[in-house]
Structure 1
Amino acid sequence: MEIPADFLSSHERCILIEVMATWGSTPREAGAFMFVSERALSGTIGGGRMEHAAIALARSMLGDGREKETLDVTLGPDSGQCCGGRVSLSLSLATEQVMEDLRLRSRLEADAYPDVFIFGAGHVGRALALALKPLPFNVMVVETREDEAVQLAPGIDYRIEAIAERAVSDVRAGGAVVIVTHDHALDFLIGTEALKRADLSYVGMIGSKTKRGLFLHHLRDHGEDEQRIDRLILPIGGKAVHDKRPPVIAALVAAELLTHYIGSG
């Protein structure tokens, strides 16, 4: 979860509420956090009466100067939440040391996220990068055209590569390659390099059944192992929704990646 820099800069005193441990069914996982100031909130630890009780405790701390509290909540009928689990919360005044510790934990967590390299910064690539930005992925957009890359939303990492397929080697093991460039031939070059890597967890390409057939011919013509195409997700985003608007494709692919990486967790 991203630390809300704008919120913190505009609220001098606030309380950090963190989910420290969970047992059974709970609305959020350990590590979730939120901030509470006297009049505003940022983030969520799961909502409901549990969150309201934590907010009330946080604001009482701001009122009387306490810097540290804990709160254990059983999510049953007495608390008005039927999850059935139990949550342990930590509440701390957001001092510089507390924030430095949180930043360190957040960096370590983010470093463990899988890489998603999006090849292509056209309409679909930009929409997909924006959809993935708040999700647990390390997103990098690779583009050959500077004028397209500069249209990406602020805060999205990108790189300009004259030979885009070379960037496939920079994806960390277990990562994903999503190919949405403006050029079929370039798609095939990137796809060929990506499928050579058995350690990539996901390789997807925008297109159709016809494009898949053309890519198979490309592999044959270049002496590549045709069986590798079995690992290729094409079309990306599944077949249940037939809508080619970039934001719709982006939402479907984001859901596909989440299901692929954490759906069975």
Structure 2
Amino acid sequence: MEVWPRIEAMVEAHGACALVSVVSAVGSTPREAGTCMIVRPDGAFHGTIGGGALEWQALARAQAMLARAERATMLVDQVLGPDLGQCCGGRVALAIETFDRRDRTEIAALAAAERAGPFGTAIDRPAGGRTVRRILKPGAAPAAGMAGERFGERPPSILLFGAGHVGRALVLALAPLPFRVVWCDSRPGAFPAAIPANVTTTAASADAVLAAAPAGAEVLVMTHSHALDLDIVEAALMCAPVAGVGLIGSATKRARFARQLAGRGVPASRIAALRCPLGLPGIGGKEPPVIAAAIAAECLLIAEARTKAAVAPVRGRRPTRSRSS
């Protein structure tokens, strides 16, 4: 979630806001350490630390701090079962801090760093005082005895080719999910007037879009033309940064494309990586929103599997945690 640019905007628009951060999470907890939520003085908020009584009490504490113009960071340590009656069974430590227009310089520096990409901070939370942050140089770690934070981590990228009925429904299905979507269609007037915040549209050629693809991007192909689909699939399968390629259609379409791709010299190992049909199996509806929901769910499963595969060699087995309580 975007943190410091949103804090910057909230302070400018509302005069103040509070940041609620999960400092640590042990056992079965709704959200992991590093999760945060930004609260306005009127109680409106962005993000979530997991819902339930934990979040409700954190919102009340944040609003009370804002009403008192309290500057010191509040630290809250709660065992979810005995303290809140939540059945998760874990333990969560929260930090609640407020910002107002006096903090513009600090907020602006952090917002600029986040807009530039992922970055880390070294933090110090003195008892009874305000949290102090120092932006770390790339690759640097906090000094011994200091905690650290990470901001600006980019969600997985999806390159979506085609703005037809399913493409439009899929963009809406992906709108609230943790993906960055590049939506591609060269036809005039192909895109609707309203575009979700996590979507960027482009009329550039497929070659140009793929040339700029970030590492690990997922390509989904569903244009108005099977011939164009074939060209894009071929280019995507041979594009090094692309992690996966999906094609809308039936098993018959996939078999036909496999023969044509082989005739164009695409290696069998790359053709085998093509996913078609798209979407979770067992969902049989053919309405565009139903197809979109199945594809969006499949994208989530793929992204989570890749994340687990990436962190497993470094962190070992990840602890099990609940999604809600």
TM-score bucket of the superposed structures, by smaller chain: 0.7 to 0.9
Mind listing any 5+ residue stretches in structure 2 that lack a counterpart?
A: 119-150, 309-325
Alpha-carbon shift at residue 7 of structure 1 (Å):
6.3
Match of 1:54 in 2: 58
Output the CA distance in 2 between the equivalents of 1:207 and 1:176.
17
Output the CA distance in 1 between the equivalents of 2:105 and 2:225.
50
Match of 1:130 in 2: 172
Match of 1:160 in 2: 203
Q: Does 1:188 align with 2:230?
A: yes
Alpha-carbon shift at residue 103 of structure 1 (Å):
6.8
Query: Residue 87 of structure 1 aligns to which amino acid in structure 2?
Result: V
Q: More displaced, 237-246 or 144-153?
A: 144-153
SS at match of 2:16: coil
Output the CA distance in 1 between the equivalents of 2:234 and 2:268.
10
Q: Does 1:257 align with 2:299?
A: yes
- Distance 1:258-1:103 versus aligned 2 partners, 3 A rule: farther
Mind listing any 5+ residue stretches in structure 1 that lack a counterpart?
A: none
Q: More displaced, 140-149 or 10-19?
A: 10-19
Alpha-carbon shift at residue 181 of structure 1 (Å):
0.6
TM-score by length of 1: 0.87
SS at match of 1:94: strand
Query: Residue 50 of structure 2 aligns to which amino acid in structure 1?
Result: G
Query: Residue 160 of structure 1 aligns to which amino acid in structure 2?
Result: A
Output the CA distance in 1 between the equivalents of 2:155 and 2:69.
37
Q: More displaced, 202-211 or 23-32?
A: 23-32
Q: Equivalent of 2:81, from 76, 80, 104?
A: 76
Identical amino acids, percent of aligned pairs: 39
Q: Equivalent of 1:20, from 18, 23, 28?
A: 23
The CA deviation string for residues 204-224 of structure 1, in whole angstroms up to 9 with x for no partner, is 000001111210221133233
The CA deviation string for residues 90-131 of structure 1, in whole angstroms up to 9 with x for no partner, is 111133356443674575255532221001112221222232
- Distance 1:65-1:238 versus aligned 2 partners, 3 A rule: closer
RMSD of aligned Cα (Å) = 2.6
Match of 1:243 in 2: 285
Output the CA distance in 2 between the equivalents of 1:94 and 1:20.
18
Query: Residue 32 of structure 1 aligns to which amino acid in structure 2?
Result: T
- Distance 1:97-1:237 versus aligned 2 partners, 3 A rule: farther
Query: Residue 202 of structure 2 aligns to which amino acid in structure 1?
Result: R
TM-score by length of 2: 0.72
Q: Does the CA contact (< 8 Å) of 1:92 and 1:98 recur in 2?
A: no
Greater relative CO (CA pairs within 8 A, separation 6+): 2
Output the CA distance in 1 between the equivalents of 2:63 and 2:232.
53
Q: Does 1:89 align with 2:94?
A: yes
Q: How many residues align?
A: 264
Alpha-carbon shift at residue 8 of structure 1 (Å):
6.0
- Distance 1:11-1:111 versus aligned 2 partners, 3 A rule: same
Alpha-carbon shift at residue 60 of structure 1 (Å):
2.3
The CA deviation string for residues 11-51 of structure 1, in whole angstroms up to 9 with x for no partner, is 33332212222222211122322233443221321122222
Q: Equivalent of 1:33, from 27, 36, 54?
A: 36
Output the CA distance in 1 between the equivalents of 2:240 and 2:44.
44
Output the CA distance in 1 between the equivalents of 2:215 and 2:224.
26
Q: Does the CA contact (< 8 Å) of 1:74 and 1:85 recur in 2?
A: yes
Output the CA distance in 2 between the equivalents of 1:116 and 1:208.
21
Output the CA distance in 1 between the equivalents of 2:89 and 2:106.
31
Q: Does the CA contact (< 8 Å) of 1:181 and 1:187 recur in 2?
A: yes
Alpha-carbon shift at residue 151 of structure 1 (Å):
4.4
SS at match of 1:70: strand
Match of 1:64 in 2: 68
Output the CA distance in 1 between the equivalents of 2:45 and 2:56.
13
- Distance 1:262-1:185 versus aligned 2 partners, 3 A rule: same
Output the CA distance in 1 between the equivalents of 2:264 and 2:291.
30
Query: Residue 127 of structure 1 aligns to which amino acid in structure 2?
Result: A
- Distance 1:170-1:243 versus aligned 2 partners, 3 A rule: same
Query: Which one has the bigger helix percentage?
Result: 1
SS at match of 2:265: coil
